[in-house]
Structure 1
Amino acid sequence: MFEIQFNYRAVKFMNPTYLRQIHASQIFHALRAHPNISQRELGVLTGCDKSTVSVIIKRFETMGLVERTQGQPRGTRGRPQESLRISMSSGFLLGVHLEFEQLVLVLATLDGQPLDSWQGPLPVEPAALSPLLTEGIAALMQGQPQPAAEIRSVGVCLPGLVKMGGGLVYSPNLDWRDVNMAELLAPHLSVPVQADNDTNAATLAEHLFGDCAGIDDFLLIQGGSGVGGGLFMDGRVYRGKSGFAGELGHQKVIANGRPCNCGAMGCLSAYLSPGVLVERAGYCAPGIASLADVQAAADAGDREIQGLLDESGGYVGLVLSNLINALNPPAVVLSGTLAQLWPWLEPGVRRSLNENALPAMLSQVNIIISRLSTASVPSGGVALALEGFTSLDASETLFG
């Protein structure tokens, strides 16, 4: 369950409104993760007292966020158990993904369940994003019973360096520099906009919707247009001082190795980015033009391609070993193209881990192959939108 972390010793000195907002966020996420839960069970799950739960649920009902249902009695006698869940008519979340070749919008319910998606051309210039976004939202809302005004929060996933507050510093894939997403989209959207690096968003999505629900500390390495990473620590995405933390694809695997698009040499991304991997595979087996071709060749038993993927897995294992030795995480998630190629990467990854990671730490790590990242609809944007909606600093507070 997504949890709001705070210092309990400071509670007695905390602003009461801020404390209520913390409890409201905890209760909202408990409802999201455990639909049809009773009010009493909410108190047990969140640790909030009975009166706090009651006041916050009444606030949610006033906002139209929750609905009550009558379930079956929990025994042979007694009245039916009244349950609570996030209302399906409480509004929408919108995820925006600027992917390598296309713009993808995902419309979801307020609890993060995807309803529909829309694809359009990737804008060449930042100024072209807003008109495309307006077009996509109009198309998505045609099949919905509520208007676009019911979109409560928007999350934007960006492939590049994103600073605190959502400002894009630089994206080599988009060739965009110094773009403030919130300012760019504010004239066209009347709701909060949360923008972040796409891998940070994927990391958050794994915790909210994926196999890391309930895990408060884990690492993620994702293959996409490049290789990115995310650090989830103490129940939240760790973004560092300025928002740039988690660039795990730029960990060095070979001194003075292949040039990377970041300007350095020998980065993991210089060996495992899909485009680079296809290029390297083409030297082994002429005619390979896509990642699907690489997989097909490996499946067909091409020894050179299998060797290339085994070597690549060794590089992933080396990066993971350094991170495991430094951070002692209980779980590591491999996502995106790394999840797709896992059957062929796994031998090299595990061999490198056994050679380089400290045994005491390695024995405590669970390697998770992301199922969420291979779904047909991306979830990172919706995760950012949900984080923004339940944030303690959201403009429309859950309890103010």
Structure 2
Amino acid sequence: MSQRELSELTGCDKSTVSVIIKRFEGIGLVERTMGASSGRRGRPSESLRISELSGLLMGVHLEFECLRFVAANVDGRPFASIDRPLPTTPSELGDDVRNGLEALCNEVGRSLSEIRAVGMTLPGLVGSAGGLAESSNLSWDTVAVPDLLRTKIGAPVYVDNDSNASTLAEHLFGVAADLSDFIMLDGSRGIGGGVFIDGRLYRGRSGFSGEMGHIKVVKDGRMCGCGAPGCLSAYICAPALVARSRRVPGISKFSDILAAAEAGNPDVRYLLEEAGQFLGVAMATLINVFDPPAIALGGIIAQIWPYIENSTRQTIQQNAMRTPAREYEIRISTISNSQIPWGGVTLALEGFSNLHPTDPLPW
């Protein structure tokens, strides 16, 4: 857009916009181009855009089988990724992240010096200072992630829980882009989520909010990986669904469940309908507590939604208060199951562009 349009959009006077744009040009963040012709006589107007060569944002995803590295330009849109082996111990994390970032830079023909910010997602409870408090899936507890990375990476690093990062990505790039308030539910090996209130991700007193997978849906039910019985994750995450499908011939992994459901296998369809009931109980609780305008569903929940939608909606109607249950909507994520994950670069983008850098978990 043009400087005039920027002035109108921001409410800043033209001279202020001009000063800021000159500073941005000085650091290579924006570049000038000629705008498209309007069909009117005269020269096309000059426009500004973010330079694709103004730097890199990097996402680092500590997943259950690998470290996944994602590169994006400073607009936050991913364009390349690589996978590296998962560290066997937390002490190896700093070197492994550094080496992975270097490998990805080499692959895309860029340098480490171009990295403006790094966002790292962790599958567990992440404190407000960026440390991993606990992760039952990784069997890691009390890992001071900032201390492990501080001396290894020259760019600012922003660390958060993977579901919080997914929630933020859904707001910036996904189905919740037009919402200032919504709740996210997603996951794979476990179920997590995020709460977005008044245009901001709510992280809680210590950074541990959004653990939707540990809403109790069955009294004294199946044991969850957290060590407590009856959690939503114990019934609807991928390992739980696979374990509960063992009696069905040919089921050994989650993709087998999807294939069987698509083929109309009655046992698998029943299992998923039951999982939808458990999800409906949890969603009804969230509706009663938060009265959200929308709940976004991603990850494994988005994948099985065609088979659980009816039972989930019926259970919500049975358990949620009537008025809020009439006024919310369910939105299915279009980016949460992308081959290249968005969460890490979204954290990097939030940190890089935030006007209050002490706010979004930097260190």
- Normalization by structure 2: what TM-score? 0.95
**What secondary structure sits across from 1:138 in the alignment?**
helix
Task: Supply the distance in 1 between the matched residues of 2:96 and 2:278 (Cα, whole angstroms).
Answer: 39
Q: Deviations over 1:208-245 (max 9, x none)?
A: 11121131111001122200011011111100111011
Specify the alignment match of 1:90 in structure 2: 54
Match of 1:117 among 65, 81, 93: 81
Give, in angstroms, the shift of residue 48 of structure 1. 3.2
| Contact 1:192/1:394, CA 8 A, preserved across alignment | no
Specify the alignment match of 2:306 in structure 1: 343
**Paired AA for residue 148 in structure 2:** L
| Contact 2:30/2:48, CA 8 A, preserved across alignment | yes
Task: Supply the distance in 1 between the matched residues of 2:199 and 2:16 (Cα, whole angstroms).
Answer: 23
Q: Deviations over 1:124-159 (max 9, x none)?
A: 211212222233222211244431111010111000
Extract unaligned runs of 5+ from structure 1: 1-36, 396-400
**What secondary structure sits across from 2:142 in the alignment?**
strand
Count of residue pairs brought into register by the alignment: 358
Match of 1:330 among 274, 290, 293: 293
Give, in angstroms, the shift of residue 393 of structure 1. 4.1
Task: Supply the distance in 2 between the matched residues of 1:361 and 1:55 (Cα, whole angstroms).
Answer: 48
| Contact 2:238/2:300, CA 8 A, preserved across alignment | yes
**What secondary structure sits across from 2:194 in the alignment?**
strand
| Contact 1:103/1:119, CA 8 A, preserved across alignment | yes
Task: Supply the distance in 2 between the matched residues of 1:326 and 1:46 (Cα, whole angstroms).
Answer: 35
Asked whether 1:189 is paired with 2:153, we answer yes
**What secondary structure sits across from 2:219 in the alignment?**
coil
Match of 1:100 among 64, 71, 80: 64
**Paired AA for residue 344 in structure 1:** Y
Specify the alignment match of 1:51 in structure 2: 15
Do the aligned partners of residues 358 and 175 (structure 1) sit closer, same or farther apart at CA in structure 2, a change above 3 Å counting?
same
**What secondary structure sits across from 1:90 in the alignment?**
coil
Instruction: Single out whichever of 74-83 and 363-372 deviates more from structure 2.
Output: 74-83
| Contact 2:275/2:308, CA 8 A, preserved across alignment | yes
**Paired AA for residue 354 in structure 2:** S
Q: Deviations over 1:363-400 (max 9, x none)?
A: 322211111011110010001111111223449xxxxx
Asked whether 1:357 is paired with 2:357, we answer no
Q: Deviations over 1:167-217 (max 9, x none)?
A: 110111111111122211111101111111000000001111112113111
**Paired AA for residue 267 in structure 2:** E
Specify the alignment match of 1:178 in structure 2: 142
Task: Supply the distance in 2 between the matched residues of 1:62 and 1:359 (Cα, whole angstroms).
Answer: 56
Q: Deviations over 1:69-100 (max 9, x none)?
A: 10124352333121111101100011000111
Instruction: Single out whichever of 74-83 and 110-119 deviates more from structure 2.
Output: 74-83
- For residues 1-400 of structure 1, the aligned pairs below 5 Å read 37-283=1-247, 285-394=248-357
| Contact 1:124/1:174, CA 8 A, preserved across alignment | no
**Paired AA for residue 286 in structure 1:** P
Give, in angstroms, the shift of residue 46 of structure 1. 3.0
- Normalization by structure 1: what TM-score? 0.86
| Contact 2:163/2:187, CA 8 A, preserved across alignment | no
Task: Supply the distance in 2 between the matched residues of 1:224 and 1:49 (Cα, whole angstroms).
Answer: 48
**What secondary structure sits across from 1:117 in the alignment?**
strand
RMSD: 1.5
